[in-house]
Amino acid sequence: MITSILPTYNRVSISFERGEGSWLISSDGQRYLDLAAGIAVNALGHANPALIAVLTEQAGRVWHLSNLYQIPEQQKLADLLVEHTFADTVFFTNSGTEACELAVKMARKYWYDRVRPDRTRILTFEGSFHGRSSAGIAAAGSEKMTKGFGPLLPGFTQLKWGDHEALTNAIREGDVGAVMVEPVQGEGGIRPLPDACLKGLRDLCDETGVLMILDEVQCGMGRTGRLFAHEWAGITPDIMMVAKGIGGGFPLGAVLATENAASGMTAGTHGSTYGGNPLGCAVGAKVVEIIADPAFLSEVNRKAALFRQGLESLVASHPDVFEAVRGSGLMLGLKCKASNTDVVKACYGAHVLTVPAADNVIRLLPALNITDGDLSEALIRLDRAALAVSGALAPA
């Protein structure tokens, strides 16, 4: 039987009515420690006073303006992003998948304008996630997302994660226009691309002229302890997709690009009704101001080290449940020995929210401003969940 909400999601039967920092309060008054943060969206926690202040102030002035006009809040956010990153220019979207759409169009138009319309192919990687639009599912290519939705947008080739030789060969094939990669795969199971690989990929792109598109929708905005994850490798992309954390909970995304990569995107070549609206951009500018502060990022790194240490001992004390800690900064994964969905379920029982990912991993993506006290509490609750899973695993 059909439900009034299209039944595309598997939901648990918990309903939240309020949030405070790293806590969510359910409608029956239970408090849950939130290590999911709306899947890396609530980067500054729930009901953040600084964000409420800008949101309500802007809401009292103007919510939406067409891109027919100058939008000062959009200009401010663009200038901030340009100031803090490799980018020369920014386009605003409302989601990560829309950022993927533009990244693909930008790369195609770049080569079209260079009279190389044959260079349409975009290399991507197995285990990736680039959103649920037609371009996003074709880019990631996994059967789980594409089955039944053909014909798919052509021009994507998925390579094995970590297969240098396949990449080196494919990128030199002449018809490749761009390569799209997450510096840390999120949905794919918190799989970081080693810095050396990202550097090697940058070198290959420089050698061949192929555009490097980084999808930092999940791993960007301070998540790994730098404003953007690629900074750890000391490289810069040509095009970057951003969303999730940048709005702190308000739907907001962006494509950042160099002047060269963006050169095809002239007036009339792309647009969005809601993209860059004053409400979203006012909030986004506040989020960027807070997260780009070196003092804030060094706190993220300090907490990440603390949390990771605790997680390592958690894994060591539950070898039947967990296998390893992986990830970077506060984008952490626990590779499970038990079924990750059982572990996530036990976490609900211990009133701590986690997110399953591919590769039998549970994701821990706390708010970047989570307190030390809440991190200690998280370890206690994860331990409780692990004990519940071990208990269920043990022969009666």
Ligand X SMILES: *Cc1c(COP(=O)(O)O)cnc(C)c1O
Nearer to ligand X, 95 or 120 (CB): 95
| 74 interacts with ligand X by CB under 6 A | no
CB of 341 to ligand X, least distance (A): 19
Residue from 96, 276, 284, 310 that binds ligand X (CB under 6 A)?
96
Binding mask 128-157 for ligand X (x = CB under 6 A): -xxx--------------------------
CB of 186 to ligand X, least distance (A): 4
Residue from 22, 48, 85, 95 that binds ligand X (CB under 6 A)?
95
Do residues 392 and 63 make contact, with C-beta atoms less than 8 angstroms apart?
no
CB of 40 to ligand X, least distance (A): 7
Nearer to ligand X, 136 or 155 (CB): 136
Residue 388 to residue 51: CA distance in whole angstroms: 37
Nearer to ligand X, 273 or 309 (CB): 273
- Burial label for 314, CB within 10 Å (0-12, 13-18, 19+), is buried
Residues 212-251, interacting with ligand X (CB under 6 A)? 215, 217-218, 243-244
Do residues 283 and 54 make contact, with C-beta atoms less than 8 angstroms apart?
yes
CB of 229 to ligand X, least distance (A): 11
Nearer to ligand X, 77 or 386 (CB): 77
Residue 285 to residue 253: CA distance in whole angstroms: 12
Do residues 240 and 214 make contact, with C-beta atoms less than 8 angstroms apart?
yes
CB of 278 to ligand X, least distance (A): 20
Do residues 82 and 112 make contact, with C-beta atoms less than 8 angstroms apart?
no
Do residues 92 and 254 make contact, with C-beta atoms less than 8 angstroms apart?
yes
State how beta strands 191-192 and 253-257 pair.
Answer: unpaired
Nearer to ligand X, 58 or 94 (CB): 94
CA distances from 297 to 108, 232, 290, 301, 385 (A): 35, 13, 9, 6, 30
Residues 180-199, interacting with ligand X (CB under 6 A)? 182, 186-187
Residue nearest to ligand X (CB): 96
Nearer to ligand X, 107 or 243 (CB): 243
Long-range contacts of 261-268 (CB under 8 A, 24+ apart): 261/106, 261/107, 261/110, 261/211, 262/88, 262/89, 262/106, 263/110, 263/113, 264/106, 264/109, 264/110, 264/112, 264/113, 265/91, 265/105, 265/106, 265/109
Nearer to ligand X, 77 or 213 (CB): 213
CB of 317 to ligand X, least distance (A): 31
Do residues 286 and 252 make contact, with C-beta atoms less than 8 angstroms apart?
no
Give the number of residues in contact with ligand X, rule: CB under 6 A. Answer: 15
Q: For ligand X, which stretch binds (CB under 6 A), given 78-86, 108-116, 124-132, 270-278? A: 124-132
Nearer to ligand X, 80 or 246 (CB): 246
Q: For ligand X, which stretch binds (CB under 6 A), given 27-35, 170-178, 179-187, 387-395? A: 179-187
Residue 42 token pair: 């609530």
CB of 194 to ligand X, least distance (A): 18
Residues that bind ligand X (CB under 6 A): 95-97, 100, 129-131, 182, 186-187, 215, 217-218, 243-244
